[in-house]
Amino acid sequence: MSEPKPKFIGRSVARLEDRPLLMGQGRFAADVSFPGQWHMRVVRSPVAHGRLIAVDATAALALPGVHAVWTHKDVAHIPPIPFRLTGLKELEPYRQTVLAKDYVRYVGEPVAVVFAADPYLAEDVADLVELEIEPRPPVLDASGATGPFDAERATEPSVIRKGYGDVEAAFKAAHAIVSLTLSTGRHSGVPMETRGAIARYDEARDILEMHGAAKVPWWNRDHIAQMIGRTRANMHLLEGHVGGGFGIRGEIYPEDVLVCAAALVFKKPIKWIEDRREHLIAANHSRQQQHNIRTAIDADGHILAIDNKFFHDNGAYMRTHAATVPDLAAAMLPGPYRVPAYRVAGHIRLTNKTPCGTYRAPGRYESSFVRERLMDAIAAKVGVDGVEIRRRNLIAKSAMPYDLHLDTLGTHIVYDSGDYALLLDKTLALAGWPDLQADLKKRRAAGEKVGAGVAMFVEKSGLGPSDTVRIDVKPDGKVEVVTGVASIGQGVETAMAQIAADALGVDYSDINVVHGQTDRIDTGAGAFASRVTVMCGEATRLAAVKLRDKTLRLAAELMQTEASALDMVDGEIVRRGGIGPSMPLAALAQARPGELTAEDTFLSAHMVYPYGVHIAVVKVDTETNAVHVERYVIGYDVGKAVNPRLVEGQIAGGLAQGLGGALLEEFVYDDNGEPLSVTFADYLMPTARETPPLAILITEDAPSPLNPMGLKGAGEGGANPVGAAIASAIDDALQRPGAIADLPVTPQRLRSLLNTAR
């Protein structure tokens, strides 16, 4: 049967998930409590590297209200935390145990845990646990010499190698070679809500629950269960509201495993809520890389080959993401440009810093900065502007689908669709590029340091392999959509309701979308890699179409007609043409209880590839060494926008985070490996004042051919090339091509740069 014409898809309808938050009815991890619960506090290493000699909990255990103290010997049976993505075999010896064994390798590493009657007592008691640690020299420079990880292994677990074509021949034939050394600083997602986990064991049902889950509850359920001797059937992970995800939240951390193990042992609910200092020193960091890149070009600036060697600082251990970030950096660096030959070697290095994972646009924020700096350097070498050199090297629309001859995340990279030149033109037009250039030139002549920069990128999204959705009609006619994804603020409930409503023929506000509850649906991939709208959206459409067809067949039996003669409009089963009796959906649900249900799965072997253009306008204040972003323009092709306002919100939020990494945010350490960015006085984040006026252009010129709705993801395009665009704009403001080689461009770095110029 034909599907009804879209009524909700493509509209910026109001979000369904906001009401409980606006009414003060949000339920975050810290809001979850159970009678008789114990509170857990982590005793963390105060040194960056050392041999763990002893842990003395005598004084702590003597205090009333202290129930237990665990060290590694209490959890020695629990295996190291496994890999979720890109888990190369050679990385496995570098995984983290839930409590330190023999060595500590970063400040903040869990060494022991205290269980007490209330959180304040637990915090005080943790300070009484004495650690005897024999300090060792820390390794802090990932691009320098390797050091010992243990008695058998050094601090370079692996090297990511990718490439194609004859790189050496291209460099021999080159008109010119452009070489750069570039670096991105260590920073991370810092959500409003810190991490938290609350575990409760129900002996009567033999069910272990963990509340506070996020991002990938089903994978975490399966693997935490394996680690502590449970089965997936007798363990549930339950998601509440989540105060920001950004890649950092929701992976398996030591604390998640510890609360679950403790709930089983003590038969008490165990609650752990992280404070802000803990978050800044213990939750995943990201981004820190140094690239030594060179390109061979012809006389007109066409790229002949790129050769890149980079060092990825992964901190002290390989956590759940394993090699994901350097792998993505290596694979996605070519971006929207023709690169006939390519070679990259990404050296994964361990240092005595907080371990790393993904952060919004992982590997792409870094590689887009490197690639777009390279494009600007080629433009300077050839003597043309940055826009022109990009035009000369863009992959043409006629080349789509475009095989990049590279792999990442277990998939072969084939750009599914795109018209990069068209989006560049549209974004330049939105920015008023010719008039903008004339105005900037006039202002520079008057003594201002102002400039504009352009950056282009290709994103990846819609990672498979599958998503399953079940849809039920309740007796009151309301519709429940049960999914295997998670919500981290991106508007899951609204977007899935819009898709289901159009396919079913009901109002989107009559749909309740369930997510993040492993007890409601057995399988789910969660929310990462900008996958939800693509994968879950198509699964939702398939299940809704199946349910609509089934509903009309059942209604036809009661209405004594053919299903083909019926339609469903606004929750009412009607005869096509509008002649004859109708039946409310609720009436059918009551007449055929339990029958109005359908489930379907969407399978996908390839990712989809949205793309975009960023334009930044900045002013450099030579008195304060500050960079003021005056304007920002983003063009982004999302294939098909289910809810344009949600896409705009994703882009705007990503921009703010990209600005932080470009100008403000950086985790720094002293020579002993002591973290210096442990409060918001030291780790600076952008506020509304630093976030510029933003113009967003969402286009739908290149719908994906890989799913019927043409969807592509929107979660990471706002952050991806921000560092690159800001760097290009600062170069222009200073009239010094290649001036910016390191992010973030802090006032201290800018002052040094300006002093060098003088």
Indicate which CATH number applies to the domain containing 113.
Answer: 3.90.1170.50
Residue 346 sits at the vertex; the CA angle it makes with 340 and 347, to the nearest 5 degrees, is 155
Is residue 512 a contact partner of residue 494, using CB atoms and an 8 Å limit? no
Predicted confidence at residue 5, as pLDDT, reads 72
Query: By C-alpha distance, which of 647, 637, 650 is closest to 710?
Result: 637
pLDDT, tens only, 416-453 = 999 999 999 999 999 999 999 999 999 999 999 999 99
Q: Is residue 100 part of a domain?
A: yes
Residue 3 has pLDDT above 60, yes or no: no
Condensed to tens digits (0 to 9), the pLDDT of residues 93-137 reads: 999 999 999 999 999 999 999 999 999 999 999 999 999 999 999
Cα–Cα distances (Å) from 187 to 99, 358, 366, 455, in that order, read 24, 11, 11, 21
Residues 245 and 328 in one domain: no
Task: Check which CATH number belongs to the domain holding 502 and give it.
Answer: 3.30.365.10
Residues 237 and 193 in one domain: yes
Average pLDDT, the chain: 96
Q: Is the residue at 2 inside a domain?
A: no
- 510 and 636 in a single domain? The answer is no
Q: Please check the confidence at residue 580 and state whether its pLDDT lies above 90.
A: no
Scanning the structure block, which residue is given the tokens 């603020």? 489
Tokens read off for 332: 């996605």
Strands 583-584 and 289-297: unpaired
Which token pair is 548?
């609509």
Q: How confident is the model at residue 756 (pLDDT cuts 50, 70, 90)?
A: confident
> Are 158 and 184 members of one domain?
yes
Paired tokens of 434: 């010719």
**Chain segment 641-669, per-residue pLDDT in tens:** 999 999 999 999 999 999 999 999 999 99
Q: What is the pLDDT of residue 758?
A: 66
Tens of pLDDT, residue by residue over 522-545, are 999 999 999 999 999 999 999 999
Same domain, 353 and 501: no
pLDDT exceeds cutoff 60 at 2: no
**Percentage of the chain with pLDDT > 90?**
97
Same domain assignment for residues 469 and 585: yes
Last residue of a domain, one of 588, 603, 618: 603
Residue 241 lies in a domain: yes
Mean pLDDT of 222-246: 96
Q: Is residue 401 part of a domain?
A: no
If asked whether residues 669 and 748 sit together in one domain, one would say yes
**Distance between CA 216 and CA 486 in Å, rounded?**
7
Q: What is the mean pLDDT of residues 571-599?
A: 94
pLDDT in tens, 454-473: 999 999 999 999 999 999 99
Does residue 7 lie in a domain region?
Answer: no
Among 603, 623, 639, the domain boundary falls at 603
590: phi then psi, degrees, rounded to nearest 5: -75, -35
- Report the distance separating Cα 152 and Cα 132, nearest Å: 24
What does the pLDDT look like over 317-369, one tens digit per residue? Answer: 999 999 999 999 999 999 999 999 999 999 999 999 999 999 999 999 999 99
Same domain, 447 and 519: no
Cβ–Cβ < 8 Å for 352, 48: yes
Task: Pick the last residue of a domain from 351, 368, 395.
Answer: 395
Q: What average pLDDT does this structure show over 203-231? A: 97
pLDDT for residue 716 is more than 90: yes
Residue 667: domain span = 414-460+608-758
Contacts with 496 (C-beta within 8 Å, 6 or more apart), sequence order: 469, 481, 483, 511, 513, 536, 537, 540
Note the pLDDT tens digit of each residue in 159-212: 999 999 999 999 999 999 999 999 999 999 999 999 999 999 999 999 999 999
What is the reported pLDDT for 4? 57
Residue 408, domain member (yes or no) = no
Lowest mean pLDDT among 248-257, 359-368, 579-588: 579-588
Distance of alpha carbon 554 from alpha carbon 558, whole angstroms? 7
Are 420 and 383 contained in the same domain? no
> Is this prediction's pTM over 0.85?
yes
Q: Does residue 718 register a pLDDT over 80? A: yes
> pLDDT confidence of 1, banded at 50, 70, 90?
very low
Number of domains comprising the chain: 4
Asked whether residue 8 is domain-assigned, the answer is no
166 and 201 part of one domain? no
Q: Residue 755: what pLDDT? A: 87
Output b/e per residue, 79-114; b: 16+ Cβ within 10 A: ebbbbbbbbeeebeebbbbbbbbebbbbbbbbbbbb
∠651-654-657 over CA atoms, to 5°?
155
For residues 155 and 225, membership in a common domain is answered with: no
Predicted confidence (pLDDT) per residue in 682-695, tens digit: 999 999 999 999 99
Same domain, 493 and 442: no
Please give the C-alpha separations between residue 172 and each of 169, 242, 662, 750, in angstroms, as whole numbers.
5, 54, 35, 37
The 10 Å Cβ neighbour count of residue 704 is 25
Does the residue 83 lie in any domain? Answer: yes
Does residue 386 carry a pLDDT above 70?
Answer: yes
